[in-house]
Amino acid sequence: MISLLTDIGAWLRPYQFQLALAIIATLLVLFGNDINRWIKKLLSGRHFIVRLVVFVLVCAFGYGLATVWLTSMLAQQLARIPNLYFMPACLLAFTLLGLLAQRQRQI
pLDDT tens figures, 28-60 = 999 998 998 999 899 888 899 999 999 889 888
Give the end-to-end CA distance of the chain in Å, rounded to a whole number: 33
Record the pTM.
Answer: 0.87
Contact 28, 66 (CB under 8 A): yes
pLDDT value at residue 69:
96
Q: The domain containing residue 89 runs over which residues?
A: 2-102
Work out the average pLDDT over 8-28. Answer: 95
Q: With beta carbons less than 8 A apart as the criterion, state whether 17 and 88 touch.
A: no
Q: What is the pLDDT of residues 60-98, one digit of tens each?
A: 899 999 999 999 999 999 999 999 999 999 999 999 999
Mutual angle of helices 16-42 and 83-103, in 10-degree steps: 30
Residue 53 is assigned to a structural domain of this protein: yes
Domain count, the chain: 1
Kindly state whether residue 107 falls inside one of the protein's structural domains.
no
Q: Can you state the angle between helices 48-56 and 16-42, rounded to 10 degrees?
A: 170
